[in-house]
Structure 1
C-alpha cells in the first residue's frame, strides 16, 4: 500500500503571476466515488491517464493506490462514470530541491490557486516559496473531490 503525505497551501496570486512556470499540463479529473473515507478518481492529463484510489486522511497522510490506464479508457470513464469533474492547469515548480504542484482551477473553480507539496514524512521540514500563503491541508473544502461537488464560486 502506498501512503501519500501531502500538504496544501493557498497561493498569493500577485506573487504567483511573477513566477517563471517550468512545466504545465492540463488536468481533467472526475470522481467515481467521493466520500470522506475514500475516493476513486480518474485523471486525464495532456498525454497520460490514471485511476487513483485514496483512503481516509489522517493529518496530512492517507493511503493511495495509483494505476496508469489507457487515455481512451480514461475519457470513457470521465464521460460515463463521473458525476463531478474538475479541470485545472497544473504547474510543476522546483523550489529548494522540492517539487511543488500548483493548480490553477478552471470552470466553477476559476480564481482558486492551490499549491501542494508531497513529503516523505509528516514532520519533514521544507522551505516555502514567497508565493505561498496560508496552509489549508486540514480544510476539506480545498480537496479536489470537494471542489468538484461544491465549487469555489459557490462559497
Structure 2
C-alpha cells in the first residue's frame, strides 16, 4: 500500500510551461465514489491503463492502491463512469527535490489548470513557484472525483 500525501493549487499564468516535460493525455473515469473512498480507471495517451483505489477522507493524505489493467478492459470500464469522464493533459515540472504535476483540463472543464505536488510526509515544505495561485488542498470541489460528478469548474468564493 502506498500513502498519497499531496498539496493542490490553482495555477496562475503560464510560467510553469518553461520547465514542463512532454504532457500525457489522460482519460479518467470514476467507477465508485464516496466521501472516504473512490475507484477510478485512467487511460494514458490511449495506450495503457491503470485502476486506482483510494481510501481516507484526509485533506492531504489517503491510502492508495494502483494496478495496471488491460487497455481493452479499461475502455469497457469507462462506460460505467459516474458523471463526466475527465479529459486532461498532465505535465510534470521538476523543481528541486519535488515534481509538480500540472493538469490542464479539456472539454467541459477547459480553462481549469491545477498543480499538485506529492510529499514524503505532511510536514514537507516544497518551494512554491510564483505561477501558483490559491491553494485548494482540502477543498473538496477541486478533487477529480468532484469534478467528474459535477462536470463543471467550481465557482470562486468571494
Q: State the TM-score, normalizing by the size of structure 2.
A: 0.90
Alpha-carbon offset, residue 128 of structure 1: 1.4
Is the CA contact (8 Å cut-off) linking 1:40 and 1:52 kept in structure 2? yes
* Residue ranges of structure 2 left out of the alignment (5+ in a row): none
Which runs of structure 2 are paired with 1:1-155 in the superposition (5 Å)? 1-16=1-16, 19-46=18-45, 47-79=47-79, 81-84=80-83, 85-153=85-153, 155=155
Counterpart Cα distance in 1 of 2:117 and 2:141:
18
Report the more deviating stretch, 18-27 or 131-140: 18-27
Residue 4 to residue 153, structure 1, CA distance change in 2 (3 Å): closer
Counterpart Cα distance in 2 of 1:154 and 1:104:
15
Is the CA contact (8 Å cut-off) linking 2:147 and 2:153 kept in structure 1? no
Counterpart Cα distance in 2 of 1:4 and 1:53:
11
Counterpart Cα distance in 2 of 1:143 and 1:153:
11
Is the CA contact (8 Å cut-off) linking 2:41 and 2:78 kept in structure 1? yes
Q: State the TM-score, normalizing by the size of structure 1.
A: 0.91
Q: Deviations over 1:26-45 (max 9, x none)?
A: 00000111221110000111
Is the CA contact (8 Å cut-off) linking 2:20 and 2:94 kept in structure 1? no
Counterpart Cα distance in 1 of 2:54 and 2:130:
30
Alpha-carbon offset, residue 153 of structure 1: 4.3
Residue 154 to residue 118, structure 1, CA distance change in 2 (3 Å): closer
Residue 123 to residue 45, structure 1, CA distance change in 2 (3 Å): same
* Residue ranges of structure 1 left out of the alignment (5+ in a row): none
